[in-house]
Structure 1
Amino acid sequence: MDFELKTLDAAGAASEKCDVLLVLVTDSFRAGKDPVSRLVAAALDAGDLEPKAGKLLQAYRSEGIAAPRVLLAGAGDGSGRKVQQAVQAAAGVLRSSAAKKLTILLPAASGGDAVRAAVCGTAESSYVYVATKSKPEGRELRKVTVGVADAGAQRGAFARAKAAAVGIEFARELANLPPNYATPTRLGEEAKKLAKASGFGVEVMGPKEVAKVGMGSFLSVAKGSAEPLRFIVLRYEGGSRGDAPIVLVGKGITFDTGGISIKPSGEMDEMKFDMGGAASVLGTFRALAELKPKVNVVGLIPSCENMPDGAAYKPGDILTSLSGQTIEVLNTDAEGRLILCDALTYAERFKPRAVVDIATLTGACVVALGGIRSGLFASDDQLATQLQAAGDAALDPCWRLPLDDEYAEGLKTNFADVANVAGRAAGAVVAAKFLQRFAQAYPWAHLDVAGTAWKGGAAKGGTGRPVGLLLEFLMAQDGAAPAAPKASAKASKAAKAAPANKRSKAAARA
């Protein structure tokens, strides 16, 4: 889809040649003498249109307006959130009209948040999955012009919005592919293609390389599948050579049966979305290619299937992680944390200034927050604040949940350093506490996107979240590159407690 930013007022919009003119009307609307303003004023006076976000009124062949169809949409106070609601409400009408050219007239006082909402909301609403359909119906909308009072003042916001839309769609497309297409091997290939096109560094490891590194926990999860695992390392180097990178770690379970602790069959098809974290990391890198901010970013994606064959790991097994910590498996359906823990340890070798992992980790987070906000856990208050602010700005919100040490009590076991699950209570927090054990050497945050990475029911499909949040967070780091943090005293103590062979192996590869 081709987006264009244009300086446009109501009078100019009247002469715009397009299939549909979408006019966003705020509760502070002031009528002018042009045809568009007269149409809006008449509709408001008659009570046929309310400026409340999401309210719509259609007009056809209006006098003095070049577009054959005019769609008036209430946009409330004109904020990004209200503009998003207006665009989403208009999506159904736009699809039925088969419009190829759309002009969106934003309110005169609109800021960058409204521009972003208009671009991303339109891209999201017009997305159509066609990859595996024999007779695909393509997206009709081809060109979207966003009209603002001063295009020059909104160039930066517009560029960021376009990049976010591209990255989100990239993530959605990967997540929506069926699991016999989007295998770990396919994710590795997509990473290589993206790296080649964008000038990123890339390394894709297979089972032998991962075994040599010592990722015993990750390897165990992959044992039950005929599909070979992949560990993907992407590097974007937009900052200075010595700048400590931000590391993004994405869970890449391309299909999750639950393993030996097998899931119920109902809606198991949706477990193809269990690589939503991996898709969001790849989508974020796709957006970075468009914007090229001055920041260094590393993407780590441990990817495999969780299957229940004769070689599969099982409840009662003891795994040895890359950190040297041993893990008792009590439930093989808590596999995401077992592949992420090795990736979090691997992240130490980049001496990162911060690490953010993204995972469709727990059903408990869906119970807690539904599909509105992603769950946020963080060991560092500043990092948490930055991620929350980024989510709010991107209309991709998250909510911080606690990490009190008491939540880890249920992970104690007689047979290993830690168990992979505890009881049912506070499941999302307990999972985060498990991951925190492996993320002591740097500021760390965990985004549980189990409720936000995809939708079920009639709207079933990947959402591309939290690409918007991650991109906004990274753009806020543009040019600001503090040195890598020192490991905490607690982390140093944990490292000393690890078996000597594991410490020496990690040190040799750091």
Structure 2
Amino acid sequence: MRQARARWYDRGFVTGGQGKVSAFKLPRVRYRETDDPTADLARYQHIALIVAKAADLAHAPFGALLQKRLKAQGVAIKPGTVFLTEAPDEAGTTLAVGFADATLDTFALLELARKLTRFRPGVARVALLAPGLSGAAHKEALRALVRCLYAQAPLPSRQTGRTVNPPTAVDVYGAGEDDRALRAAAHGNHLARALSVLPENELGPADYVKRVKKLAIDNGWRFRFLDEKRLAALGAGAFLAVTRTRAAGAGIVHLRYTPRKALRPPVTLVGKGICFDTGGVNLKPARHMYGMHEDMQGSAVALGTLLALAQSHAPFRVDCYLAIAENAIGPLSYRPNEVVRAVDGTTIEVVHTDAEGRMVLADTLALAARERPGLIIDYATLTGACVYALGTRMTGAFTNRPELTLRLIEAGRASGERVWPFPLADDYNADLKSDIADIKQCTLDGEADHILAALFLKRFIAHDPTWIHLDLSAGRHKGGLGAIPTDTTGFGVDFTLALLADPAFAW
């Protein structure tokens, strides 16, 4: 099918109920090859600069003033230092200076740039500079500032009277870059976050499917929906065990982007889309149930990645499977000690109903693998064990190709979305041995549950494609993470784009 231009997301995003649309648009960014903004200083209300040392400020607007104030205030200049002050002009222009050198990796550079792009209310015009830097350091500094600027786009909010107006015009000095890839990534990440923060009464399974269908139509993607009736015909008993409480609209969405000319093997993205997770019969306590409207973030990241790849005109087919459901509680809820049969015939002993994510993903991964893609990447807010292991600054990564371990770390380093690989050692499978079924869903002990969950999922991937599983422990981080200023991070979009763009990564 001829691919329609991916234009929908610049036009607006469906954020409210009943298909209401609120405008969303990234700021207009102009790249100016000159490094000297002196002639335009009066137009800016915020100027953000990244430099290596105080002497570099000699090349910056208000440079002498900045050097004088840094010295007067005794600022200790080292990589990561941020200095904020106001220019002596009528507008009270904010001057935000950050110091960086080669010791700062991409993540640290993004953290620095995020602090420099916190705008006071009413700021409309912004200048971004990296005076004194050259070559790759100059390019990366400006890219970090632009990424953080794009991430400022507001998320859906239901606060009465609250309006957020991010900058509308931005000039980037000393660069002539085409930033279509940056904009595509920003659109993808924003979509993932915007969906994730919607309350469950606005994004139940039926609402979610409706929004995804709209997105597919506007972008020219193929859309197919396997509802519960179709899944029953296929024998998807693992998925249907979770949806037994009859939350309207549950099912598996299959989207497909097809390029005009495919130059690489197909890629499949799979996401866990539990719109709310009560824990089921093994009910979560209030502290752990609060925030479970974001348990669908894995599916939102898969969808956002698809959008970014489509807008970047990726030269390979991308299939995207979203396992959309709700883990509710009721008379029909599935229970511990049940045995259910997955779509590939595997029988599963249910141990804990709050391990529903691996249940819906088991059938979804099995169906996705039938298409024989070269690569499958799945995203899920799957286990607390991964959060205990890493905290919320990094995400756990698993793969059936041990030789990719260093490449996964490097993709995390390059993107600023850091991952840490965990083993898939065969001896751990002993913990999933069942006396009454082919495999246990999990254990009650919880020890190494992130590893056991990944081994469980691995069982359902036939034909041995390259498989990468991301347990999104960094899906939510208080105060933001890397380029992202919000607690909800949309982690995974930039990581995946960096991995797939790596010329040394073959699948």
| TM beyond 0.5 | yes
Find the counterpart in structure 2 of residue 114 from structure 1: 141
- Which of residues 127, 150, 153 is equivalent to 1:103? 127
1:407 aligns with 2:428: yes
Find the counterpart in structure 2 of residue 379 from structure 1: 400
Distance 1:33 1:414 in 2: 73
One-letter amino acid of the structure 1 residue matched with residue 366 of structure 2? T
Structure 1: gaps of 5 or more residues = 483-510
Deviations, residues 282-311 of structure 1 (Å, cap 9, x unaligned): 111221232112121111111100011001
Larger mean CA deviation between 128-137 and 96-105 belongs to 128-137
Is residue 51–residue 57 contact of structure 2 (8 Å, CA) maintained in 1? no
Distance 2:461 2:200 in 1: 30
How far residue 466 of structure 1 moved from its aligned partner, in angstroms, is 1.1
Find the counterpart in structure 2 of residue 435 from structure 1: 457
RMSD: 2.6
Normalized per residue, the structure richer in helix is: 1
Distance 1:358 1:371 in 2: 15
Find the counterpart in structure 2 of residue 507 from structure 1: none
Larger mean CA deviation between 315-324 and 6-15 belongs to 6-15
Cα 1:399–1:144, aligned 2, differ >3 Å: closer, same or farther? same
Is residue 334–residue 421 contact of structure 1 (8 Å, CA) maintained in 2? yes
Cα 1:393–1:264, aligned 2, differ >3 Å: closer, same or farther? same
Larger mean CA deviation between 290-299 and 166-175 belongs to 290-299
Distance 1:13 1:452 in 2: 41
Q: How many residues are paired up?
A: 469
How far residue 243 of structure 1 moved from its aligned partner, in angstroms, is 5.1
Find the counterpart in structure 2 of residue 425 from structure 1: 447
Cα 1:134–1:41, aligned 2, differ >3 Å: closer, same or farther? closer
Cα 1:306–1:300, aligned 2, differ >3 Å: closer, same or farther? same
Find the counterpart in structure 2 of residue 323 from structure 1: 344
Runs of 4+ that moved beyond 6 A:
457-460
- Which of residues 374, 382, 389 is equivalent to 1:368? 389
How far residue 206 of structure 1 moved from its aligned partner, in angstroms, is 1.2
Deviations, residues 172-199 of structure 1 (Å, cap 9, x unaligned): 1000000111112222222222222222
Secondary structure in 2 matching 1:342: helix
How far residue 456 of structure 1 moved from its aligned partner, in angstroms, is 5.3
One-letter amino acid of the structure 2 residue matched with residue 439 of structure 1? I
- Which of residues 164, 167, 170 is equivalent to 1:138? 164
Find the counterpart in structure 1 of residue 32 from structure 2: 7
- Which of residues 13, 16, 22 is equivalent to 2:48? 22
How far residue 81 of structure 1 moved from its aligned partner, in angstroms, is 3.4
TM-score (norm: length of structure 1):
0.85
How far residue 383 of structure 1 moved from its aligned partner, in angstroms, is 4.3
Cα 1:296–1:475, aligned 2, differ >3 Å: closer, same or farther? farther
Identity of aligned residues (%): 30
Map 1:221-260 to 2 at 5 A.
Answer: 221-238=242-259, 240=261, 244-260=265-281
- Which of residues 300, 321, 339 is equivalent to 1:279? 300
Map 1:350-499 to 2 at 5 A.
Answer: 350-422=371-443, 423-441=445-463, 442-449=465-472, 451-455=473-477, 461-476=487-502
Is residue 233–residue 301 contact of structure 1 (8 Å, CA) maintained in 2? yes
1:38 aligns with 2:59: no
Cα 1:139–1:382, aligned 2, differ >3 Å: closer, same or farther? farther
Deviations, residues 327-362 of structure 1 (Å, cap 9, x unaligned): 000100001011111111111222111111110000
How far residue 410 of structure 1 moved from its aligned partner, in angstroms, is 1.0
Is residue 209–residue 249 contact of structure 2 (8 Å, CA) maintained in 1? no
- Which of residues 196, 206, 213 is equivalent to 1:185? 206
One-letter amino acid of the structure 2 residue matched with residue 173 of structure 1? A
Map 1:52-131 to 2 at 5 A.
Answer: 52-61=79-88, 68-77=92-101, 80-92=106-118, 94=119, 96-107=120-131, 108-109=133-134, 110-124=137-151, 126-131=152-157
Secondary structure in 2 matching 1:433: helix
Secondary structure in 2 matching 1:172: helix
Distance 1:359 1:129 in 2: 21
How far residue 201 of structure 1 moved from its aligned partner, in angstroms, is 1.4
Structure 2: gaps of 5 or more residues = 1-25
How far residue 5 of structure 1 moved from its aligned partner, in angstroms, is 4.0
Secondary structure in 2 matching 1:102: strand
TM-score (norm: length of structure 2):
0.86
- Which of residues 202, 212, 233 is equivalent to 2:233? 212
One-letter amino acid of the structure 2 residue matched with residue 435 of structure 1? L
One-letter amino acid of the structure 2 residue matched with residue 331 of structure 1? H
